[in-house]
């Protein structure tokens, strides 16, 4: 997949009424409406609670062929267990999300580590050895992880280093560790209240248009409040298309 998929982190937000969801559109149809506008979503809810297989099968039924779900791994594995003995937890996750894999709708699994989780090579190696088949991306939030040998370990397993854009984490790098990329937009630095400005998005569009020629790319907006995320994602996708057409 040599293309960029752009979407949001979740779809179940009341602030999006009147922006992405028409007045009167019931919440049970929000995913269907979302999928008519975007071709991918990052499921943030799986970080807090694993869905049932029935619920996951319903996601498949509500979305068109080609729609892709990125899933955030359980905080029990990343924040409670802190990557210790994750094999059973991964097996449970795989059992629950099987309908996505069977339908060809499963995108990357996102492993987000907490900000107070310092570098631990043994725990990272344990995770990398336990990862199931498919794409995986890891988001480090402590500066100690951003070292050459850590990035080399990710490259060995074709695991994408998440570029988590946030003004409070300036140590993030644009360096690629996989044959594809994963970008998370947390908080714009030039717009108001975390909204991304058009100039910021234009800069990102140029980068992403270039990166997507090298391999697949997934990008998600996590600034869901005040409907910033769907607005920013829509604008960025259009600008990427424009930049790609100009190359």
Mean pLDDT of the chain, nearest integer: 95
Residue 4 and residue 209 in contact, taking contact as beta carbons nearer than 8 Å: yes
**Which range has the worst mean pLDDT, 67-71, 150-154, 167-171?**
167-171
Residue 127 and residue 83 in contact, taking contact as beta carbons nearer than 8 Å: yes
Residue 181 and residue 160 in contact, taking contact as beta carbons nearer than 8 Å: yes
Residue 2 pLDDT > 80: no
* β-sheet with 4-9: strand ranges across: 160-161, 136-139, 106-112, 68-72, 40-43, 4-9, 217-221, 181-185, 163-165
- Residue 190 — pLDDT band, cuts 50, 70, 90? confident
Q: Give per-residue pLDDT as tens, 55-92.
A: 999 999 999 999 999 999 999 999 999 999 999 999 99
In this predicted structure, what is the pLDDT of residue 192?
Answer: 85
Q: For a pLDDT cut of 70, what percent of the chain falls above it? A: 98
Q: Across residues 196-205, what is the average pLDDT?
A: 96
Q: Give per-residue pLDDT as tens, 91-139.
A: 999 999 999 999 999 999 999 999 999 999 999 999 999 999 999 999 9
Residue 170 and residue 160 in contact, taking contact as beta carbons nearer than 8 Å: no
Give which of 177, 167, 122, 119 is closest to 143, Cα–Cα.
119
Q: Residue 234: CB partners within 8 Å, gap ≥ 6?
A: 37
**Which range has the worst mean pLDDT, 76-80, 179-183, 185-189?**
185-189
DSSP the chain: --SEEEEEE-S--GGGBTTTB-TT--GGGHHHHHHTT-SEEEE-GGGTSPPPHHHHHHHHHHS-TT-EEEEEPPHIIIIISTTSS-HHHHHHHHHHTHHHHHTT-EEEEEEEPPTT----HHHHHHHHHH--SS-EEEE--SGGG-SHHHHHHHHHTTPEEPEEE-TT-TT------SSSEEEEE---SSSSTTPPPHHHHHHHHHHHHHHTTTS-EEEEE---GGGHHHHHHHHHHHHHHHHHHH-
In this predicted structure, what is the pLDDT of residue 17?
Answer: 95
pTM for the model stands at 0.96
In this predicted structure, what is the pLDDT of residue 214?
Answer: 87
Q: For a pLDDT cut of 90, what percent of the chain falls above it? A: 92
Q: Across residues 170-194, what is the average pLDDT?
A: 92
């Amino acid at each position: 997949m040599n293309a960029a998929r752009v979407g949001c982190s979740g779809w179940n937000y009341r602030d999006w009424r009147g922006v992405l969801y028409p007045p009167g559109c019931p919440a049970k149809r929000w995913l269907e409406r979302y999928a008519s506008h975007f071709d991918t979503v990052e499921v943030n809810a799986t970080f807090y609670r694993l869905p049932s297989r029935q619920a996951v099968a319903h996601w498949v039924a509500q979305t068109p062929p080609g729609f892709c779900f990125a899933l955030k791994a359980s905080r029990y594995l990343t924040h409670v267990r802190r990557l210790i003995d994750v094999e059973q937890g991964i097996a449970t996750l795989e059992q629950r999300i099987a309908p996505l894999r069977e339908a060809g709708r499963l995108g990357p699994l996102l492993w987000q580590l907490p900000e107070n989780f310092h570098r631990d090579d043994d725990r990272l190696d344990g995770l990398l050895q336990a990862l199931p088949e498919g794409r995986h991306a890891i988001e480090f939030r402590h500066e100690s992880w951003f070292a050459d040998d850590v990035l080399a370990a990710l490259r060995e397993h074709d695991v994408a280093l998440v570029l988590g854009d946030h003004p409070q984490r300036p140590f993030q790098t644009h360096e690629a560790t996989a044959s594809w990329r994963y970008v998370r937009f947390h908080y714009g630095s030039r717009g108001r209240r975390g909204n991304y400005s058009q100039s910021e998005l234009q800069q990102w569009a140029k980068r992403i248009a270039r990166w997507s020629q090298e391999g697949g790319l997934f990008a998600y907006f996590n600034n869901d409040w005040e409907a910033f995320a769907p607005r920013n994602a829509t604008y960025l996708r259009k600008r990427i298309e424009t930049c790609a057409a100009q190359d």
